[in-house]
Amino acid sequence: MSFKLFTDSAASLPGALLDELDIGLVSMTYTTPDGAEHICQQRGVDFDAEAFYSDIRTNHTHVRTTLINSAQFYEAFEPYCRDGVSLLYIGLSSGISGTYAAACAAADELREEYPGAEILTVDTLGASLGEGLLVLEAADLRDGGVSASEAAQRIDSLKKYVCQRFIVDDLVALRRGGRLSGTAAVVGTLMNIKPVLMGNEEGKIVCASRERGRARAIRALVDSFVELAVNPEKQTVGISHTGCYDDAVALSEQIRARCDVGEFLIVDHEPGTGSHLGPDALALFFYAADARTAPADLHSRAAAFASSATRSARDAVDTLRAAVRGGVKGSAEAVRNARAAHRASTASNAGTSSKNPDNTDNTSAGGEVE
């Protein structure tokens, strides 16, 4: 092993894969309404995504997430610095969380305590498998004998090719987190508008398009892959979901029907960022083309993991739940007004990210979507 590789729980990488590839983990936490604090991801403990997102779906449970502080990173990194092992941390986008800044603060402190220690950090400008795919690429580089500094440079240059597109099933979670205006939430709910969101060059979340209905929104994800993916037959394509495994499989099948794909890695979206998206969110992650320097040698040992993994069938999606989730009960006149407002709406705007001064983390998006 040429260096120790670390990531955080926001990467949505399964514990079995982290163990197989010897990847260190530092985890965010979340707090439920009863005041109980939970670790988002623990070694040897399976995250019950179905129960977690079902509770949010059924009971409208609101959880509060907390970023990883510098002390947690210090505790995780320090033993390797003490032993003289080079360290590379690949982390959650600084555009949506203060977690990456906390890692950098811990690294600075450790460099003072251990002069000459090699502690490198990369801001992926991504979340979930938008971060996780880069971590897996770094594991391949490490196992191929590449140094920590060379791997960091490679991942830092590669991150601009990672395309992140996702949809949310309703707008309640985004509205609650301050990512969506109240007016836009009401109009979007009444009109069954599904925004297709994406990560931009600053690691913030912006609206790529708006689609009428979930089926069209999923089709828009497929279209984005077909149009933008580079060398899809060589890629491990990531799909994460918040309690909608059947839709995740359907998305992979629709993509396969239109082009040749190497492998799919389908994962439960971890709770730290997933709670802000709400249940039934669906996200797609892949390497996109760039006419100047499109990477041609993408690979990942995640392919073997993905092909061997099996999943049991999920219960059918309750087609009536959208009717009770939004909580919008308007008169006929209100509906007409909403439709008029929708017709008059213009292109979306993205604001700046909001982080609280304490450790409470708003990790779902980089700005308000109008």
pLDDT tens digits, 181-232: 444 444 555 567 788 888 888 888 778 888 889 999 999 999 999 999 999 9
Closest among 140, 144, 153 to 21, alpha carbons compared: 140
> For position 293, what pLDDT does the model report?
34
The domain locations on the chain are 4-159, 161-321
3-state class of 208 per DSSP? strand
pTM of the model: 0.78
33 torsion bin: left (phi>0), alpha (psi -120 to 50), beta (else) = alpha
- Output the pLDDT for position 200: 82
Closest CA to 325 of 212, 188, 184: 188
DSSP code per residue over 249-314: HHHHHHHHHHS--SEEEEEEPPHHHHHHH-TT-EEEEEEBP-TTT-------THHHHHHH---PPP
Tell me if the domain spanning 161-321 has CATH number 3.40.50.720. no
- Residue ranges of the chain whose pLDDT lies below 50: 179-186, 291-360, 362-370
* Amino acid symbol at 196: V
Res 292: pLDDT: 27
- Residue 202: predicted pLDDT: 83
Of the candidates 147, 100, 140, 136, the one whose C-alpha atom is nearest the C-alpha of residue 121 is 100
DSSP 84-141: T--EEEEE--TTT-SHHHHHHHHHHHHHHHSTT--EEEEE-S--THHHHHHHHHHHHH
The β-bridge partners of 237 are: 264
How far is the first Cα of the chain from the last one, in angstroms, to the nearest whole number?
Answer: 47
Amino acid, res. 224: S
Q: Are 229 and 235 in contact (CB under 8 A)?
A: yes
Q: Rounded CA gap, 264 and 306, in Å? A: 6
Report which secondary-structure segment, H or E, holds 340: helix 332-344
Just give the CATH number of 4-159.
Answer: 3.40.50.10170
Candidates 69, 195, 143; CA nearest to 300 is 143
Task: Look at residue 62 in the predicted model and tell me its pLDDT.
Answer: 85
Q: What is the pLDDT of residue 193?
A: 77
Block residue for tokens 């251990």: 114
Asked if the domains at 4-159 and 161-321 fall in one CATH topology, the answer is no
